[in-house]
Structure 1
Amino acid sequence: MSMLSRRNILKIGGAAAALPLLGQGAFAQEPLKVGFVLIGTPDDNGWNHGHDMGREAMEEALGSKVTSTVVTNVAEGPDSERVFRELAQQGHKLIFGTSFGFGDYMLKVAKEFPDVKFEWATGNATSPNLSTYNAKFHEGRAVLGTIAGMMTETNKLAYIGSIPIPEVRMGINSFALAARKVNPDVSVKVVYIDSWFDPAKEADATRALIDQGVDVFASHMDGPVSLQIAEERGIIGGFGQGADMSAFAPKAQLTSIIDVWGPHYIEAAQQVLDGTWAESSTWPGLKEGEVVIGPYNEKIPADVVAAAEKVRMGIIDGSLHPFAGPIMDNAGTERVAAGDIIDDGEFWAVDWYAAGVEA
């Protein structure tokens, strides 16, 4: 059975139709039906694309043992509850919600379907049949911040943020701390778009920041818009988010954070098939290969690449932590003392910005 014949993509707009079981012989085991709920579409070349690549890796690895359904363009609101409920009613026994704002609705539906396993990406709460999974994107931001701090000519950096949730603040702080470690004169201007995907608003914000002198960008959006504007304006550049975006900005993309979700999706589906799935929270990063730094643009000087690699390898071998103290916030208060770090459990309470951040 080809991969294509096992893939169903449902566009939101009306109730999702019930899906027939595919290609079963008289004695064949019924495949595990796996649902994926995306806030955007796989062709965003970023966050949603990364999750869909992971889904495809799951299908390739498990073959006829699984069949998958992708529901796209699902807003973080009450309609997502309907989508999760309908997937469960249609017989999906493993359902992934791939955006933070799906959480309350997933937790509610999970209670109604105790025999269905749910997994919430970037979530912060679990239940007996709902796990969370995440990636330490902030580790990658430390590598990007190192490059930005060394390459900027104006000492003005920017971070295009989506929504001010802990995951995004982690990225901003990690980027700023790393940049100021190599260049104490830099500042990081943060602009929130209040959406994961709003190309027009993101483009306007990027142009305005460039007009203010920003010459290196980081982004926490689901597409390559800020990179495309950077390419058009001829500034130093920025970084891909979630996937390699060099095809859209070959000169402006300095490198990228690539999310590799396939191993997690394969493992979770296999656990459901084996009957071993259990409530858990996973948070891998650079060391485990769930966060990957893409190829470095050839225009990056060798000493900058070496500094970036020192950070990347230091995080992997444990000799460097992006949030090692001392850390001051942008109001002058010490938040992390020398010799201390912000541990994994403390990240979710961070509601402040590091020194140098203008937000």
Structure 2
Amino acid sequence: MNHLVEISRNLIATCLGVKEKEELVIVTDEEKRPLAEALYQAGQQLGAETILLVMKEREKSGQEPPQAIAEAMKQADVAICITKHSLTHTQARKVAAAHGTRVATMPGITSDMFTAGAIAADYNEVKRLTEVVTDILTNGKLVRIEKDGHVLQFSIDKRYGVPSTGVYLESGQSGNLPSGEAYIAPVEGSANGQIVVDGSIAGISMVDEPHLLTVKDGRLIDVQGPMAAQLLGTLGEQDGRQLAEFGIGTNHKARIIGIVLEDEKAFGTIHVAFGSNITFGGTIEARVHIDLIVNKPNVYIDDVKILENGSFTFSSKS
């Protein structure tokens, strides 16, 4: 525990700038409570007014926390959500950030992830690359993803890229810890084609064999693969099946380990998600958000190739 507290203290001081007398709210559930308690002790050591809030485990990522917890997040200087299922794409996170709270979400994080992998990255480098990729997304209009002979295409016209840099020092900044991705909300109804998912599926597991997803007019209409029924059941029959997100990993230290918090940050991967995107520039509010990781694709933006087999075609020092 002492080692975890030391890592936690360095993490929240460096990435969130937690200072003496600030109000720090830590939101958790029973499964992640031991790690949350390390963060709680770290906050105390830094002199912050630290509060630990334990809620009932959510049923799936994107589901809202209780109203009392949402209110506490909104009132805090800093909020850390360390839970089994993600609170990243919730109104609670969005509203807290809008009120000036610095928010870090850590869904599914494990003790191993605290000590290795994405958490150990040089976050100055992660921040720089993430901001470059974010600008490319913001300035783009049309995305085309190619892998294993399959193509998925959709519009991002007039949408804004979102950087998740791992450094949230200014009022209202928020994102994951560990981090390293740039993402955007595709234009609803614009996606058509097929995509091969061969990394992992959030909340389910790593993928042992590729899954083929078919999207028509922005909606997931078919999944081929052993986890198809579980994925479709989690997304439900309504707007949970709408394409919600396109993201690109920017963290060289991140690994694919079957936990989306780290998987979607891995350098050489992209991810798509289905469900809610109203919290980052879209219009879908589905109470679910499920990410799916794709290894080493080719990606074109406005017919310019930016990823070839997962490697950036431009200099990562740009």
The interval holding the TM-score normalised by the smaller chain is 0.3 to 0.5
Indicate the structure (1 or 2) with the bigger Cα radius of gyration. 1
TM-score of the pair, normalised by structure 1: 0.29
Q: Which has the higher helix share?
A: 1
TM-score of the pair, normalised by structure 2: 0.32
Q: Which has the higher strand share?
A: 2
Answer 1 or 2: higher relative contact order, Cα 8 Å, separation at least 6. Answer: 1
